[in-house]
């Protein structure tokens, strides 16, 4: 970025930063899966299996970022084939609330908007 981080609207606009995170391709999906599965916890491969099309790299990156942000909890079982369980933290769960509201809006209204503008 040409500008230093956090100069323009950062102090006044944490929303921008939040959207930068949850707007990335896989975050909302991970959060939803974890929200549904919590507190059973899910392992990496299971998560990947439930997310058709995600690469290990992006899933790993996404999870690392969410973990770093304190939204996702990570528990490692040091067995010989290591097992890593992921779950939502309380913070992550609290984010799920407004996020699911957004999801509801999307499912309600996006159908209309549908194909007029975007071309994925």
Partner DNA sequence: CGGGATCCGTGGCGATACTG
Partner DNA sequence: CAGTATCGCCACGGATCCCG
How many positions of this chain bind a copy of itself (CB under 8 A)?
56
Among residues 37, 38, 43, 51, the one that binds a copy of itself under rule CB under 8 A:
51
Among residues 11, 39, 53, 78, the one that binds DNA under rule CB under 7 A:
53
Handedness of CA 58, 64, 69, 71 (dihedral sign): positive
The site string for a copy of itself over 1-40 (x = CB under 8 A, - otherwise) reads: -xx-xxxxx---xxxxxxxxxxxxx--xx--x--------
The site string for DNA over 67-86 (x = CB under 7 A, - otherwise) reads: -------x-x----xxxx--
To the nearest 10°, report the CA torsion of 46, 51, 55, 59.
-70
Among candidate residues 52, 55, 56, 42, the one with its CA nearest the CA of residue 84: 42
List, in sequence order, the alpha helices (H) in 23-89.
27-37, 44-49, 56-68
Query: Closest approach of Cβ 16 to DNA, in Å?
Result: 10
CB 48 within 8 A of CB 42: no
Residue 40's binding partner, choosing from DNA, a copy of itself, none, with beta-carbon cut-off 5 to 8 A by kind? Answer: none
């Amino acid at each position: 970025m040409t500008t230093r981080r956090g100069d323009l609207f950062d102090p006044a606009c944490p929303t921008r930063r939040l959207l930068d995170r949850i707007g990335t391709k896989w975050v909302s999906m991970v959060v939803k899966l974890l929200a549904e599965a919590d507190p059973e916890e899910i392992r990496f491969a299971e998560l990947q299996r439930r997310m058709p099309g995600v690469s290990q790299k992006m899933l790993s990156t996404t999870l690392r970022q969410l973990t770093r942000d304190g939204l996702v909890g990570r528990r490692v079982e040091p067995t010989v084939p290591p097992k890593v369980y992921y779950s939502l933290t309380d913070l992550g769960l609290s984010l799920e609330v407004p996020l699911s509201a957004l999801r509801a809006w999307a499912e309600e209204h996006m159908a209309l908007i549908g194909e007029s503008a975007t071309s994925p």
